[in-house]
Amino acid sequence: MQKIALSSPAGALGATVCPPRAVVVMGVSGSGKSTVGEMLARRQGWAFVEGDAFHSEGNHAKMRAGIPLTDEDRESWLEALGCELARHAAGGVVLSCSALKRAYRRRLRAHVDGLAFIWLEVGRDAAHRRVAGRGDRHFFPATLIDSQFATLEPPHDEAGLLHLDSERPLEEILEHAAEWLRRNPHAHP
Ligand SMILES: Nc1ncnc2c1ncn2[C@@H]1O[C@H](COP(=O)(O)OP(=O)(O)OP(=O)(O)O)[C@@H](O)[C@H]1O
Ligand SMILES: O=C(O)[C@H](O)[C@@H](O)[C@H](O)[C@H](O)CO
């Protein structure tokens, strides 16, 4: 596993802490990960990695059929995403990834020190409305929304986290995210 450090340890040799250059936009389906992630990457001039593009054909088929993924289904997917983060981190990268469980986030963090997470929290009704509104344009069915909420372990007390209300206007979300990345308020390991 390739692991790279993004930040200098605070205080070491009097070095200043660099802003994180790798961030995961996380949340349940319909929270706006892809939309916000892509726009944020463009704004930062960073690479954008669409997590859904790394699901196996088997995972896609399961979701399309309305069957929730298991921990096992997500294992190699998360590993591939961790490698993508590490590959792009030097130049800056935004990844859109549900990252629903604490263990999944730990797995991604293992690839990049100081990895930041932006959690887009969305209400169940809004998630349903948004996903149903995408219709056949997207493989993920609205019937899976409840399982996404059942699986989500909210990252409240985790390091390097920005928690945003996904039902605010996109421009406001982007503004907050960019400002947070600039200030780097969280403690790096
Ligand atoms: N802040 C927002 N305000 C209004 N609509 C939004 C907002 N964020 C996202 N949307 C809309 O919600 C829908 C779902 O967004 P998006 O596909 O980015 O979510 P997602 O979390 O990536 O979902 P999935 O994981 O299922 O791919 C899209 O139609 C998008 O335009
Ligand atoms: O962990 C998961 O269950 C999956 O990543 C889902 O979140 C979907 O891929 C996504 O929501 C559809 O775009």
Measured CA to CA, the distance from residue 58 to residue 66 in angstroms comes to: 13
Confidence label for 5 from pLDDT (cuts 50, 70 and 90): very low
What lines the ligand 1 site, CB under 6 Å? 27, 29-35, 52, 96, 130-131, 134, 140, 166, 170, 173
DSSP 159: S
Average pLDDT value over all residues in the chain: 88
**Which are the contacts of 176, defined by CB distance < 8 A and separation ≥ 6?**
162, 164
Interface predicted TM-score of the whole assembly (ipTM), two decimals: 0.96
Which atom of ligand 2 is nearest to 29's Cα?
11
| Cα–ligand 2 centroid distance for 98 (angstroms) | 6
Reference 162, options 175, 144, 145, 147; nearest CA is 175
Strand order through the sheet with 161-165: 47-50, 93-96, 22-26, 116-121, 161-165
Distance 130 CA to ligand 1 centre (A): 6
Rounded to 5 degrees, what angle do the CA atoms 130, 106, 170 make? 30
- Does the pTM surpass 0.80? The reply is yes
Confidence of residue 142 (pLDDT cuts 50, 70, 90): confident
DSSP string, 69-107: PPHHHHHHHHHHHHHHHHHHGGG-EEEE----SHHHHHH
Convert the pLDDT of each residue in 44-70 to its tens digit: 999 999 999 999 999 999 999 999 999
Closest CA to 117 of 41, 26, 20, 8: 26
Nearest to 105 by CA among 117, 113, 94: 117
Q: Give 13-46 pLDDT, tens digit per residue.
A: 434 445 569 999 999 999 999 999 999 999 999 9
